């Protein structure tokens, strides 16, 4: 609202171009890793580990988990606010806990098809609701929409504060590897899917932005408030569509993170355990390197090959050779997906419920962290850096993003500037 329709539209388009460029780099790295390692899918953490080393991969895993957790907090907080609007008599904590509890039950006790069907229904509700909202906004503010373009403010203080949330809204880095898995044989099929698929949220955001600014032109009394208040101030009958859109958008996000985060959290803890154990083995080896014999010495280690890869166990030495090893899988190796959900899900959803219930600013604070810090580092700084490292090591010519090192440097600098500015 501070910048006006034309500057904000330009900033959204530039943000989309920046986001899509970063996603294309992740897709390029994903396909290269899939081909080199002969796997069907690769995680973002694995890409970072390959390009930047084990310890950097561990740091990325921790920040990635923090990003997912902060977004779960934001979703729980937002859904709780809507539940209070629907049921004013409901206890504050219960209002925040009802939907996450239902999600946890469905994920933990029902087949995946049940949660998939629920998610598809909510997606349909979201598209229907935002279509109704945009149609209503255009019908109400169509006479003022064009005239609103007469106001423009190109000051950075008016434009930059909205960039992190814009980038977070338009980005879909977390599913890029999955897109690469299902789109086809060629890396260029992935680029086509990313460009066409990424256009959908762009159209939604641009439409919503123009409608809101058109409404702000019609009612300056509430123009400093949130866009929902603006819409309701000119047509209160759209309240069900407003609440339906907000609820479905937050719910689909919560379902996605609730499904993926438990395994992601376990994998992050495993990675930290493996790296710590590996360092202990190296330290033990260095301490005993000046001795003539390692008879009866015992240490810990991680299987790096064979059927027990990923396992941690004890290693005994005789002379300069291992004489025995015994180990066990990490927690998730023993437990199936259902068991992991049963153990981790109460923590994954319970802690956000407590935070959202007792900290009213949890929604905005969580989005600030996700958009400014975690998202900026993970999907702003890292992709061009990892792509530059990979291209310098590889001779293959399948770059999805043209421009060479100059474009990579530009994307890296933009991410650093945004991070420092905010």
Cα(254)–Cα(349) distance, integer angstroms: 10
Cα(126)–Cα(115) distance, integer angstroms: 16
In the chain, domain spans: 5-218+228-278+339-421
Give residues with Cβ within 8 angstroms of 384, minimum separation 6: 22, 25, 407, 408, 409, 411, 412, 415
pLDDT at 26 over 80: yes
pLDDT, tens digit (0-9, with 9 covering 90-100), for 313-348: 544 443 433 333 333 333 344 344 555 556 778 888
**pLDDT value at residue 291:** 46
**pLDDT value at residue 13:** 96
21 closest CA partner among 407, 319, 344: 407
- pTM score > 0.85 for this model? no
pLDDT, tens digit (0-9, with 9 covering 90-100), for 104-145: 888 888 888 888 888 889 989 988 988 888 887 777 666 666
pLDDT, tens digit (0-9, with 9 covering 90-100), for 233-253: 666 777 788 888 889 989 988
**pLDDT value at residue 231:** 66
pLDDT, tens digit (0-9, with 9 covering 90-100), for 40-85: 778 888 888 888 888 888 888 888 888 888 888 889 988 998 898 8
pLDDT grade for 168, boundaries at 50, 70 and 90: confident
User: What mean pLDDT do residues 285-306 have?
Assistant: 47
Say which residue, 210 or 94, is predicted with more confidence.
94
**pLDDT value at residue 323:** 32
Whether the CA torsion 237, 238, 242, 247 is positive or negative: it is positive
Cβ neighbours, 10 Å, residue 240: 10
Say which residue, 197 or 316, is predicted with more confidence.
197
Which architecture does CATH list for 5-218+228-278+339-421? Answer: Up-down Bundle (1.20)
Q: Would residue 385 be called left, alpha or beta, if left means φ above 0 and alpha means ψ between -120 and 50 degrees?
A: alpha
């Amino acid at each position: 609202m501070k910048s006006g329709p034309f500057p904000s539209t330009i900033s959204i388009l530039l943000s989309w171009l920046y986001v899509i460029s970063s996603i294309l780099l992740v897709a390029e790295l994903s396909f290269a890793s899939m081909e080199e390692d002969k796997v069907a899918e690769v995680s973002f953490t694995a890409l970072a580990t390959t390009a930047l080393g084990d310890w950097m991969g561990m740091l990325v895993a921790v920040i990635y988990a923090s990003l997912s957790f902060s977004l779960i907090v934001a979703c729980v907080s937002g859904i709780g606010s809507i539940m209070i609007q629907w049921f004013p008599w409901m206890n504050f904590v219960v209002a925040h806990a009802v939907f996450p509890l239902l999600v946890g039950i469905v994920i933990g006790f029902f087949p995946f098809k049940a949660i998939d069907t629920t998610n598809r229904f909510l997606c349909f509700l979201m598209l229907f609701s935002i279509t109704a909202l945009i149609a209503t906004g255009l019908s109400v503010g169509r006479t003022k929409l064009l005239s609103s373009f007469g106001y423009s403010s190109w000051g950075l203080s008016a434009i930059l504060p909205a960039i992190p949330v814009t980038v977070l809204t338009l980005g879909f880095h977390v599913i890029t590897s999955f897109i690469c898995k299902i789109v086809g044989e060629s890396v260029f099929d992935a680029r086509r899917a990313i460009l066409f698929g990424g256009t959908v949220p762009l159209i939604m955001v641009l439409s919503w932005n123009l409608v809101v600014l058109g409404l702000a032109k019609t009612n300056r009394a509430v123009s400093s408030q949130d866009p929902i208040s603006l819409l309701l101030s000119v047509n209160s009958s759209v309240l069900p569509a407003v609440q339906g859109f907000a609820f479905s958008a937050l719910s689909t996000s919560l379902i996605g993170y609730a499904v993926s985060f438990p395994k992601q959290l376990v994998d992050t803890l495993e990675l930290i355990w493996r790296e710590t154990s590996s360092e202990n083995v190296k330290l033990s080896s260095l301490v005993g390197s000046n001795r003539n014999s390692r008879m009866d010495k015992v240490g810990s280690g991680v299987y790096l090959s064979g059927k027990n890869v990923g396992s941690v166990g004890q290693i005994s030495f005789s002379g300069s050779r291992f004489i025995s090893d015994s180990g066990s899988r990490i927690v998730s190796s023993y437990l199936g997906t259902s068991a992991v959900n049963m153990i981790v899900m109460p923590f994954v959803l319970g802690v956000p419920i407590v935070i959202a219930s007792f900290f009213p600013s949890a929604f905005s604070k969580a989005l600030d962290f996700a958009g400014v810090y975690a998202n900026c580092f993970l999907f702003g700084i890292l992709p061009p850096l990892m792509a530059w490292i990979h291209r310098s090591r590889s001779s293959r010519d399948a770059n999805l993003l043209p421009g060479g090192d100059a474009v990579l440097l530009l994307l890296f600098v933009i991410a650093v500037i945004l991070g420092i500015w905010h």
